[in-house]
Amino acid sequence: MRKITAELFISLDGVVEAPHEWHFPYFDDRMGAAVDAVVGSADTLLLGRRTYDGFAGAWPGREADGGEDADFAKRLGDARKIVVSRQPLDLTWRNSELLDGELVEAVAALKEEPGERPIVISGSVSVVRQLLAAGLLDRLHLLVHPVVLGKGMRLFEEGEPPIPLELLSSEAFGTGVLNLFYAPAERPGRAGYEEAKAHLPRGEG
pLDDT at 158: 84
* Secondary structure (DSSP) of 48-98: EHHHHHHHHHHHHHHHHHT-TTHHHHHHHHHSEEEEE-SS-----STTEEE
Report whether pLDDT(205) > 70: no
CB 104 within 8 A of CB 134: yes
Fold of 4-199: Dihydrofolate Reductase, subunit A (3.40.430)
> Where are the chain's structural domains?
4-199
pLDDT at 186: 86
Report whether pLDDT(194) > 90: no
Report whether pLDDT(97) > 90: yes
Query: pLDDT, tens digit, for every residue of 125-176?
Result: 999 999 999 999 999 999 999 999 999 999 998 888 889 999 999 999 999 9
Model pTM score: 0.92
CB 46 within 8 A of CB 124: yes
pLDDT at 20: 92
Binned at pLDDT 50, 70 and 90, residue 37 comes out as very high
CB 111 within 8 A of CB 2: yes
Binned at pLDDT 50, 70 and 90, residue 187 comes out as confident
Please state, in angstroms and as integers, the Cα–Cα distance from residue 160 to each residue in 123, 130, 155, 156, 200, following that order. Answer: 20, 11, 11, 8, 31
Report whether pLDDT(64) > 60: yes
Across 58-62, average pLDDT: 96
The SS3 call for residue 133 is helix
Report whether pLDDT(202) > 90: no
Identify which of 145, 153, 176 has the alpha carbon closest to the alpha carbon of residue 51. Answer: 153
DSSP state of 118: P
Please state, in angstroms and as integers, the Cα–Cα distance from residue 154 to each residue in 13, 21, 120, 174, following that order. Answer: 8, 15, 20, 25
Binned at pLDDT 50, 70 and 90, residue 111 comes out as very high
Binned at pLDDT 50, 70 and 90, residue 193 comes out as confident
Residue 159: CB atoms within 10 Å:
5
